[in-house]
Amino acid sequence: SKEYRIELPDEASMVAFGAKIAQATQGHGVIFLLGDLGMGKTTLSRGVIRGFGHQGSVKSPTYTLVEPYEVNGKHIYHFDLYRLSDPEELEYLGIRDYFDEQALCLVEWPDKGRGMLPAADLVLQIALLGYGRQLSWTPQTALGQIMADKLMS
Ligand code: ADP
Ligand code: MG
């Protein structure tokens, strides 16, 4: 299958690529963000949310697990499941309501929610590359395939 990847040498380029993701999704779908602590998952999410026109801050939802945004009519849910000890806890969060088709869900540490999350449309992986990062992505659905190609253009 096709390899989708890009080198992002600094934080600014990461944020800029986030805006491209915003465009590619148009505010719908499920994106999993993989990569170790400090790789830039939250930075990239900030870029996506700002890409829709959000002016305020984008904090890491490490303790809240999910941070909702409504920007120009788009619903975005930014998850960080790092601190989730049991995927079943997501039931109490009302997880199903978040993943409706009208929303874009960005999920950091999706492995922690294994069994409770819907399938991702797109899986993004961030790895260290010198002082910068290499971002690669894999489509998992037809919608994800459209996103993946848009990100490459
Ligand atoms: P994570 O959410 O994956 O734990 P964060 O986004 O909180 O990571 O932090 C990532 C750190 O890496 C920040 O200090 C940010 O400035 C930096 N960073 C993000 N993207 C890049 C990049 N493409 N190149 C270099 N540094 C980056
Ligand atoms: Mg983070």
**Residue owning tokens 């945004």:** 69
Tell me the pLDDT tens digit for each residue of 88-123.
999 888 887 888 778 999 999 999 999 999 999 999
> Ligand 2 mean position to 26 CA, how many Å?
22
Q: DSSP letter at 56?
A: S
Chosen CATH of 4-152 out of 3.40.30.10, 3.40.190.10, 3.40.50.300, 3.40.1440.10: 3.40.50.300
The residue extents of the domains of the chain are: 4-152
- Helix crossing, 41-51 with 11-25: angle to 10°? 50
Model ipTM over 0.95: yes
0.95 cut: is pTM over it? yes
Tell me the pLDDT tens digit for each residue of 4-53.
999 999 999 999 999 999 999 999 999 999 999 999 999 999 999 999 99
Verify whether ligand 1 is closer than 6 Å to residue 129 (CB atom): no
Binned at pLDDT 50, 70 and 90, residue 1 comes out as low
> Ligand 1 mean position to 140 CA, how many Å?
25
If one residue of 13, 15, 39, 109 were mutated to test the ligand 1 pocket, choosing by the most ligand atoms within 8 A of its CB, it would be 39
Average pLDDT (124-144) is: 97
